[in-house]
Amino acid sequence: MTTMDASPSIDKRHRTIAFLGNPNVGKTTLFNRVAGIRAKTANFPGTTQEARVAHIIRDDTESVLIDLPGIYSLNLDLSESRVCAQCLDGTAAPKGEEAHKPDALLVVLDATNLMRNLTIMAESIDRRLPTVVAVNMIDAARRRGLGIDADRLAEMLGCEVVVCSARTGEGIEDVMTALRNARIPDRSAPTEQDAIERWSQDIYLNACAPLDTLDDDHITDRLDRAFTHPILGVCSFALVMTGLFYVIFKLAAIPMDLIDVWFGTLGGWVGTLLPDGAIKDLIVDGVIAGVGGTVIFLPQICLLFFLLALLEGTGYLARAAFVIDRLLRPFGLSGHAFVPLLSSHACAIPGIMATRAIPDRRDRFAAILIAPFMSCTARIPVYVLLIGILFPDRPSMQAIAFTGCYVLGAAGGLLTSLIARRTILRGKSRPMALELPSYRIPDLKSALLLTLDRGMVFLKKAGTLIVAISIVLWWLDAYPQQDTPPQEVASVIDAADADTTPHKSFLQQIGATVQPVFAPLGYNDELTVGVLASFAAREVFVSTMAVQVAGSDDVEDETVLESIETATRDDGSPLFNAQTAWSLLVFYVFASLCLPTTVVTAKEANGWRWAFLQLGWMSFVAYTGALIAYTIVATVGG
């Protein structure tokens, strides 16, 4: 290294500090330790790359902290590397922040794997920014018998070095003190890769304990052999994820029921305060019901992200992605996509949001497009109704049909990915370069902060538009209202010889108009209205049919469900005959009947064209599949 003139320390009342480091070095945990709940997530303009941003005040100095994406090098031709380089050059900043060079740079290194981290350290020194090095995970390094000589490392790098543990809080105040006095490194780094590697090795051997002092971690090796095994790895992953979703389904049901009851109570209470009329209907049935229909997804989303954060914190998810990668490659996906797709079985919304962890743009968009094919919990009420009609009192067949729905949806998604990667997303996939991080105890605070952040992102991004469109759907279903006074309505109904036309809402009128399109699938006006109403949310189909058939949306009432199952058409034939029930079942397996998912797709893919493409393609597949199912059952019978 070459000695340079030292620069004066940074002393500003307003400054920007960028956090930079490789993936899995605990950078975000360190950021969260400093920023706490004051942090928010922001994208870089024109990209899907995220940064955590926090404004903090310490010692009368306001600092903007930016947690940049984890990268292996600033010079790679990857979007996350480009935004990091541009941020350090002063040409890019997360949305809401002013673009200029950071006043200080915190480079976070992993004390247990220091030599690999020193490559990005060399690139950071070359940027000539006031720099501090935080050697994180020092507690894990000590457990392995590895010591870090911070003074020797600082002498070799030419900038201040602090050892710390973001998980335990050790050295955090020292990091902040060092940042207040950050200076440009007084040494320059080599530029050739082979020189960087020899540099890195020299520093490691001089500033760290010799390699032969490390204890062999036989347990880690055994776990890795099991978790990355082609068979044992898949089995262990299935077992872990089964447990994860069992916990989600069991625990999320409690707050979801409470939210449902609370919004129902709130709507009833507000209804007693307002006079009858359009304003009352708008607030109670439109606004409160729309907000409740959005917030009810929050427990599942938060619990899912919390549990995934804990799993990622242990180092396990990297092993799982390594194993699943070989299974998804033939369909144009990588192992990075598996957790988002699996998450979509709870709800496609967090699954789509989780695709942000997929580094390759084509892989990410393919995963976004197919996430709604995974059968989510919102489909379960529809599956239960239709499978119960098809196989009454036959639990074994019901179980097989239920499993078949999940398999059919996943198969449709994988086939869609295969088609997309050979057409609109054509291109060579990026090889999955994946580091297997050390096993460690997850940081509970960071998992909670991530959960809070993701929950707020969902409410801010999806909630407002979802509520607005829910109000529109409510209006279509509620209007036009019948102007005939109640006593006149009664006299008209009682008059047997009166030639009356049933009152129809705009949604019912639209259903009657659109019904010929669904006629080949066996759907009459009532079923068409049910399908159209469920564009707001799939589970709405059951309650919509209950209102039309039984005059009540209480789908928990067995008499109401019986009324749906035994409903007849105008000609006296069953509303849900075998061919129609099979047609509907296949339709709901494939159809993207979920407004919140469409909104989130538009947000995550940076454009409504992807959302409309997803909606159009899934509708086409659903219609075609339903038509095939109807034709086959009508031909063979039963």
pLDDT tens for each residue of 161-213: 999 998 888 999 999 889 988 889 887 765 555 555 658 666 666 666 544 44
CA-to-CA distance for 389 and 290, rounded, in angstroms? 30
| pLDDT of the residue at 441 | 81
Give the separation between CA 304 and CA 298, rounded to whole angstroms. Answer: 10
DSSP 3-state of 137: coil
pTM, two decimal places: 0.63
pLDDT on residue 530? 84
- Mean model confidence pLDDT for the chain: 80
Q: Which two tokens stand for residue 163?
A: 């050892």
Query: How far is Cα 48 from Cα 317, in angstroms, rounded to an integer?
Result: 22
19: closest CA among 2, 6, 35, 1?
Answer: 35
Is residue 620 over pLDDT 70?
yes
Tell me what pLDDT residue 196 has: 56
Q: Stretch 370-380: mean pLDDT, rounded?
A: 86
Residue 457 has pLDDT above 80, yes or no: no
Q: What is the pLDDT of residue 609?
A: 92
Q: Which stretch of 206-210, 234-238, 276-280, 282-286 has the lowest confidence by average pLDDT? A: 206-210
Block residue for tokens 């540099």: 199
pLDDT band of residue 615 (cuts 50, 70, 90) is very high
Considering only 139-153, 270-284, 385-399, 452-466, which range has the smallest mean pLDDT? 452-466
pLDDT tens track for 54-68: 998 877 788 899 999
The burial of 450, by beta-carbon neighbours within 10 Å (0-12 exposed, 13-18 middle, 19 or more buried), is given as buried
- Strand ranges in 342-472 using DSSP code E only, listed in sequence order: none
| Higher-scoring residue by pLDDT: 553, 117 | 117
pLDDT for the residue numbered 619: 93
pLDDT at 373: 94
Lowest mean pLDDT among 103-112, 227-236, 429-438, 497-506: 497-506
pLDDT at 497 (0 to 100): 43
Residue 363 to residue 332: CA distance in whole angstroms:
7
Q: Which residue segments constitute the domains of the chain, with CATH numbers given? A: 2-215 (3.40.50.300), 449-482+504-636 (no CATH)
Question: Over 90: is that where the pLDDT of 631 sits?
Answer: yes
Q: Backbone phi, then psi, for 298, in 5-degree steps?
A: -60, -45
pLDDT confidence of residue 214: 45
Distance (Å, whole) CA 601 – CA 426: 20
Query: CA 9 to CA 131: how far, in whole Å?
Result: 10
Q: Is the pLDDT assigned to residue 610 strictly greater than 70?
A: yes
582 pLDDT exceeds 90?
yes
pLDDT tens digit sequence for 296-311: 778 877 887 788 888 8
